Amino acid sequence: MPAMSLVTVDRSILSSYDKMGKAGGPRKDLLVLADSKRGVAVPEVARALLALHNAVTAAGGDFRVTELHREVSVQAAARKRYENWVAAGKPARGSASFNSATMKADFVAIPGKSMHNAGRAIDFHVGMTNFPGVPKDKQLDKMWEIAKPLGWKPIIKAPDESASESWHMDYWGEISGAYDRLGYEQGALCGALLVGYAGEWQTYERVVQALLQRAGYSIGELDGIIGPKSINALSSALGVTPDVAKNKVSAKDESFFATLLSKPPK
């Protein structure tokens, strides 16, 4: 059982795709994001996404979501295409050595270490936002101006529409502390572990470590090795002796997950 469940996002939020899987069509033809497998997120992200949708809409913009949650198998397939592209020497799109069927010329995170696996990242349709009165090259500036105060964090440094990943934003929320302490990849892994989508890293021991990280315990990387740091943190979090904490972990006890999740995130 994953420690946290994903919930379906609000039905007012649209996918960037229509029934034919085409992007860029009229808004009325677009699929409801909630009707696709990708339309789920952790509860705080589902709320933050609705807040973003409402704020963009209130500013006259057209908000369309390309990706939200990604299953590990989908992530693995995309990562393979990215690796094919790197192995081929990163050929330019449209060049003779670029094969769009087998290659992806944009960064794809390792399966299980993506904020999409964690249900905490969106890709949105950058070219379609159309904020009225805002020049084409300032559309992303406008999106950031709206999104950042709502807790969304763009993955690129400056708002450049043509940059790879200009469409990607993360929501760290209750795992912000883990991100600050561990960096992007381990932070994303922490999120993915909590919802059960960490692929080959999904083990009971790492989930315990992810829960402790979420609660603010500096126990180091999510390495799946329950050493003295993890035991001491668990013992302090649960108010039990280290021996009792150790026995719980040895028995792969999940009954204390809810207690850890009730701790304020740090």
Binding region for Zn ion (CB under 5 A): 123, 168
Min CB(74)–Zn ion separation in Å? 12
- Which lies closer to Zn ion via its Cβ, residue 44 or residue 170? 170
Which own/partner pairs from 232-236 qualify as long-range (CB within 8 Å, at least 24 positions apart)? 234/208
Q: Which is nearer to Zn ion, 44 or 123 (CB)?
A: 123
CB of residue 67 vs Zn ion: minimum separation in angstroms? Answer: 6
Output 78 or 134, the one with its CB closest to Zn ion.
78
Contacts of 252 (CB under 8 A, 6+ apart): 204
**DSSP state letters, 163-174:** STTTTEEE--GG
Q: Which is nearer to Zn ion, 3 or 109 (CB)?
A: 109
Report in angstroms how near the CB of residue 116 gets to Zn ion at its nearest: 6
Of the pair 47, 168, the CB lying nearest Zn ion is at 168
Q: How far is the CB of 121 from Zn ion (least distance, A)?
A: 5
- Considering the complex, state which of residue 47 and residue 116 has its C-beta at the smaller distance from Zn ion: 116
Please state the closest distance from residue 109 (CB atom) to Zn ion, in A.
8
CB of 122: closest distance to Zn ion in angstroms? Answer: 7
Angle between helices 204-214 and 228-238 (to 10 degrees): 60
3-state secondary structure of 127: helix
Q: Which is nearer to Zn ion, 126 or 226 (CB)?
A: 126
With b for 16 or more beta-carbon neighbours within 10 A and e for fewer, the 219-238 pattern comes to bebbebebeeebbebbbebe
Picking from 148, 128, 146, the residue whose alpha carbon sits closest to that of residue 136 is 128
Residue facing Zn ion at closest CB distance: 168
The alpha helices in 114-221, defined as continuous H runs, are: 139-147, 176-182, 184-195, 204-214
Task: Kindly state the smallest distance separating residue 50's Cβ from Zn ion, in Å.
Answer: 19
266: which residues sit within 8 A by CB, 6+ positions away? Answer: 177, 215, 216
Which amino acid would we find at residue 108?
V
User: CB neighbours of 54 closer than 8 A, spacing ≥ 6?
Assistant: none
Alpha carbon of residue 116 to chain centroid: 3
